[in-house]
């Protein structure tokens, strides 16, 4: 999977690249819009991460250029701007998702995965991990071929954990992922523990291996050992 | 107690004229009376002189009774044994008017055909009682017309003179610093008011620019903070992946992580506040409040679980308001969160919605909150709390933008925040 990151902030770009590289992605980086347009014209990407404020232009121009070249890459806008107007303009110009800075890298990763799944959708939308099988469309989860009963939130959490395999996920990152738009309101992340515990128990009851590891004081990690 | 300007000046005029007239009235009375009596005395003297000059030499003793019969005011009396002219007051009963009338009388010793007699010349004088009544009537009439005139002139004049002042006052009253309606006070033909208008305009201009600067600063600061915060967040996310840490290090990372997420929230709330102040949420639509409350109910119910709170909703009727959907959602979320955050374990939250108001009541600390600082930014009743002290400021702002009002009450051990939609726009 190839990703193009268009971002002028070196430090942020470095972190994003290092996080994504570990999870089966090849990440290329363009720090300005000229470089970005050059790369877009030559290569094909599975997903483009686009910052809107670039030193030599507006990220929207890159969206227009993609449209002009009839490119079908998925685009996730990552921007500090968060007005409804910029969101709407972004979506109108063909962006697929919009992530406001600051964000957790784990969140970015699952957004990319979800976008790529949507683009490559071929009749079924399955995520499989060893004995676990998740059907994203019908919202059902099977362990060893047997359906288990999970709530919508638990399925969401499961996808998030699997998507960030081998990564330590802080409680606040999980809390923010689970609460979506309401994340800004949260000042207590205790509810994460309850969700993790329930998911863990349900998987265990279905005979699934214990993949969810507790990282002391910090959060959780999905790991196959 | 404050009164209108015209009352103050009128009162001063009224007091001055009344005092002046009250003091001058008796003086006036005495002066008039003296002048009058002098005049009467002179007349009596004149009558006496006339008598002595023309009548006394021709008068015979036998004619005295005849004289007295036809002269009521100049009579010749038996000798009264007076040595010289005497002047005095005396009352005579008047059979015509059937009352005693005051007289001024002049007695003079005279000789008729060598025999001594007393000449009595008298004049009816005005009763002082009548004089006082007349003077009083005149003075009261003067007082009345004087005051009436003063009042009318004063009123007309002050209306005309103070008109620019009241216009300025009206414009200042309509001025709101957070709205873009800087008043144009204009110029008048009165120098003092021109100075006033000029000073106020300058003051407003300065304040508006300070206000705008401050607002801009908050917005810019919040915006500029987003990128370093994003880097901070990303670096921590990356750092925690790197290797195994010691217990001590995990604790530090965890607290770093909590701090950055707290910073994020704080920053987003500041941005929200400055956006609200910049009128970014002015698009209104009809919003069903019942739906708005139920929309995130599950989310907040989940948040309330860790404190084992009971949430009761009393949504008696379907209520719709005209407002901005983002603002209404933010309002409800903040009220909800506030009720959860400041609650105690096993506490309750009661949400009541009626046509006029929306109330969030929650159990919490056993004493009422200090309400004058409650809605200020960064004011916290307990500094060690998790909240950032912006929640109620945001609530207040949304309430203000919509022209609603908010009340805080503490009763039955419940802290109650009541939003009143008094504008009738629902």
Nearest CA-CA distance, residue B330 and chain A, Å:
9
Search chain B and give the residue with CA nearest A21: B238
The span from the CA of B77 to the CA of B110, in Å, is: 10
Please indicate if any CB of chain B lies within 8 Å of the CB of A44: no
Contacts of B388 in chain A (CB under 8 A): 187
Nearest CA-CA distance, residue A222 and chain B, Å:
12
- Judged by CB atoms closer than 8 Å, whether chains meet at A101 and B258 is answered as no
Q: What is the reported pLDDT for B425? A: 46
- Judged by CB atoms closer than 8 Å, whether chains meet at B230 and A191 is answered as no
Residue with tokens 């005209």: B322
Q: What is the reported pLDDT for B3? A: 73
Q: Which residues pair with B287 in a beta bridge?
A: B321
Q: Cis (ω within 30 of 0) for the bond into A216?
A: no
Length of chain B: 426
Q: How confident is the model at residue A123 (pLDDT cuts 50, 70, 90)?
A: low
The pTM assigned to this predicted structure is: 0.68
Nearest CA-CA distance, residue B378 and chain A, Å:
15
Identify the DSSP state of B82: -
How do residues A15-43 score in pLDDT, each as one tens digit? 999 999 877 899 999 999 999 999 999 99
What is the percentage of chain B residues whose pLDDT exceeds 90? 13
Contacts of B345 in chain A (CB under 8 A): none
Nearest CA-CA distance, residue A179 and chain B, Å:
8
| CB contact residues (below 8 A), chain A span 67-106, against chain B | 80, 82-84, 101-106
Note the ipTM here: 0.87
Q: What is the reported pLDDT for B426? A: 43
Contacts of A216 in chain B (CB under 8 A): 247, 250
Question: If you average pLDDT over every residue of chain B, what do you get?
Answer: 84
Give the H/E segment covering residue A157. Answer: helix A152-163
CB B286 within 8 A of CB B402: no
Q: What is the reported pLDDT for B380? A: 67
Higher pLDDT, B390 or B229: B229
Q: What is the reported pLDDT for B86? A: 85
How do residues B194-249 score in pLDDT, each as one tens digit? 998 899 989 988 988 888 888 788 778 888 888 899 999 999 988 888 877 888 88
CB atoms closer than 10 angstroms to residue A162:
18
Radius of gyration of chain A (CA): 18
* Mutate which: A170, A195, A221, vs B, most B CBs within 10 A: A170
Higher pLDDT, A3 or B70: A3
The span from the CA of A108 to the CA of B263, in Å, is: 20
Contacts of A84 in chain B (CB under 8 A): 326
Residue B141 token pair: 């009439």
- Judged by CB atoms closer than 8 Å, whether chains meet at A187 and B302 is answered as no
Average pLDDT over residues A183-203: 85
Residue with tokens 């005497």: B86
How do residues B347-363 score in pLDDT, each as one tens digit? 999 999 988 899 999 99
Q: What is the reported pLDDT for B315? A: 86
Q: How confident is the model at residue B386 (pLDDT cuts 50, 70, 90)?
A: low
The span from the CA of A132 to the CA of A139, in Å, is: 13
pLDDT at B16 over 50: yes
- Judged by CB atoms closer than 8 Å, whether chains meet at A80 and B227 is answered as yes
Average pLDDT over residues A53-61: 89
User: Nearest CB to A104: which of B233, B271, B302?
Assistant: B233
- Judged by CB atoms closer than 8 Å, whether chains meet at A11 and B234 is answered as yes
Please indicate if any CB of chain B lies within 8 Å of the CB of A16: yes
Question: If you average pLDDT over every residue of chain A, what do you get?
Answer: 89
pLDDT at B283 over 90: no
- Judged by CB atoms closer than 8 Å, whether chains meet at A103 and B306 is answered as no
The edge-to-edge listing of strands for the beta sheet with A140-143 is: A126-129, A132-135, A140-143, A146-148
Helix axes A152-163, A190-205, angle to 10 degrees: 90
Average pLDDT over residues B160-167: 86
CB atoms closer than 10 angstroms to residue B198:
12
Detail the DSSP E strand segments found in B59-210: 74-78, 86-94, 99-112, 115-124
- Judged by CB atoms closer than 8 Å, whether chains meet at B269 and A184 is answered as yes
pLDDT at B1 over 70: no
What is the percentage of chain B residues whose pLDDT exceeds 70? 96
- Judged by CB atoms closer than 8 Å, whether chains meet at B238 and A19 is answered as yes
- Judged by CB atoms closer than 8 Å, whether chains meet at A182 and B386 is answered as no
- Judged by CB atoms closer than 8 Å, whether chains meet at A215 and B341 is answered as no
Search chain B and give the residue with CA nearest A78: B230
- For the CA atoms of B230, B236, B237, B238, the dihedral, rounded to the nearest 10 degrees, stands at 110
Q: What is the reported pLDDT for A50? A: 95
- Judged by CB atoms closer than 8 Å, whether chains meet at B238 and A18 is answered as yes
Closest CA to B122 of B135, B134, B136, B108: B108
**Identity of the highest mean pLDDT range in A83-87, A105-109, B191-195:** A105-109
- The region of weakest confidence among A185-189, B40-44, B48-52, B171-175 is A185-189
The span from the CA of A134 to the CA of B331, in Å, is: 37
Contacts of A19 in chain B (CB under 8 A): 234, 237-238, 241
């Amino acid at each position: 999977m190839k990703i193009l990151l268009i971002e002028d902030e070196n430090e942020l770009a470095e972190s994003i690249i290092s996080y994504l590289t570990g999870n089966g992605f090849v990440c290329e980086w363009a720090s300005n819009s000229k470089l970005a347009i050059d790369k877009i014209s030559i290569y094909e990407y599975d997903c483009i991460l686009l910052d809107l404020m670039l030193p030599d232009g507006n990220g929207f121009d890159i969206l227009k250029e993609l449209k002009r070249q009839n490119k079908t890459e998925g685009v996730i806008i990552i921007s500090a701007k968060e007005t409804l107007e910029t969101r709407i303009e972004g979506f109108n110009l063909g962006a697929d998702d919009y992530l406001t800075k600051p964000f957790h890298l784990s969140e970015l990763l699952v957004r990319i995965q979800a976008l790529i799944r949507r683009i490559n959708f071929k009749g079924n939308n399955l995520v499989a991990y060893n004995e676990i099988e998740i059907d994203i469309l019908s919202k059902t989860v099977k362990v060893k071929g047997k359906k288990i009963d999970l709530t919508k939130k638990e399925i969401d959490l499961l996808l998030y954990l699997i998507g960030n395999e081998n990564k330590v996920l802080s409680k606040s990152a999980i809390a923010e992922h689970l609460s979506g738009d309401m994340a800004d309101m949260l000042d207590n992340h205790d509810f994460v523990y309850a969700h993790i515990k329930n998911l863990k128990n349900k998987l265990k009851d279905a005979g699934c291996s214990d993949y969810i590891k507790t990282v002391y004081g910090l959060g959780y990690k999905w790991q196959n050992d | 107690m404050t009164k209108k300007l015209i009352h103050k000046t009128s009162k001063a005029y009224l007091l001055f004229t009344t005092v002046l007239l009250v003091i001058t009235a008796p003086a006036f009375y005495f002066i008039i009376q003296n002048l009058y009596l002098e005049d009467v005395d002179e007349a009596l003297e004149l009558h006496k002189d006339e008598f002595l000059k023309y009548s006394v030499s021709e008068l015979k003793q036998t004619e005295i009774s005849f004289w007295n019969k036809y002269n009521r005011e100049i009579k010749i009396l038996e000798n009264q044994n007076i040595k010289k002219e005497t002047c005095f007051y005396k009352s005579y009963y008047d059979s015509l008017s059937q009352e005693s009338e005051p007289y001024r009388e002049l007695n003079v010793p005279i000789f008729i055909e060598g025999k001594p007699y007393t000449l009595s010349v008298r004049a009816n004088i005005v009763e002082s009682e009548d004089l006082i009544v007349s003077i009083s009537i005149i003075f009261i009439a003067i007082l009345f017309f004087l005051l009436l005139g003063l009042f009318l002139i004063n009123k007309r004049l002050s209306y005309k003179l103070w008109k620019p002042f009241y216009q300025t006052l009206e414009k200042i009253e309509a001025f709101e610093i957070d709205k873009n309606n800087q008043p144009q006070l204009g110029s008048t033909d009165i120098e003092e008011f021109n100075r006033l208008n000029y000073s106020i305009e300058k003051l407003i201009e300065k304040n508006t620019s300070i206000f705008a600067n401050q607002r801009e600063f908050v917005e810019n600061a919040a915006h500029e903070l987003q990128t370093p915060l994003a880097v901070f967040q990303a670096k921590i996310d990356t750092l925690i992946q790197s290797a195994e840490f010691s217990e001590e290090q995990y604790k530090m990372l965890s607290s770093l992580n909590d701090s950055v997420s707290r910073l994020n929230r704080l920053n987003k709330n500041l941005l929200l506040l400055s956006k609200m102040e910049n009128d970014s949420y002015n698009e209104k639509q009809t919003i069903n409040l019942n739906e708005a409350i139920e929309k995130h109910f599950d989310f907040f119910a989940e948040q309330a679980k860790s404190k084992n709170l009971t949430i009761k909703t009393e949504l008696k009727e379907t209520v719709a308001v005209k407002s901005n959907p983002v603002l209404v959602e933010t309002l409800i979320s903040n009220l909800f969160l506030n009720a959860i955050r400041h609650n105690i374990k096993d506490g309750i939250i009661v949400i009541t919605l009626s046509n006029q108001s929306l109330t969030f009541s929650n159990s919490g600390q056993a004493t009422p909150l200090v309400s004058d600082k409650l809605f200020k930014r960064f004011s916290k009743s307990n500094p060690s709390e998790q909240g950032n002290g912006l929640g109620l400021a945001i609530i207040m702002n949304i309430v203000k933008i919509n022209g609603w009002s908010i009340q805080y009450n503490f009763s039955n051990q419940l802290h109650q925040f009541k939003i009143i939609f008094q504008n009738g726009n629902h």
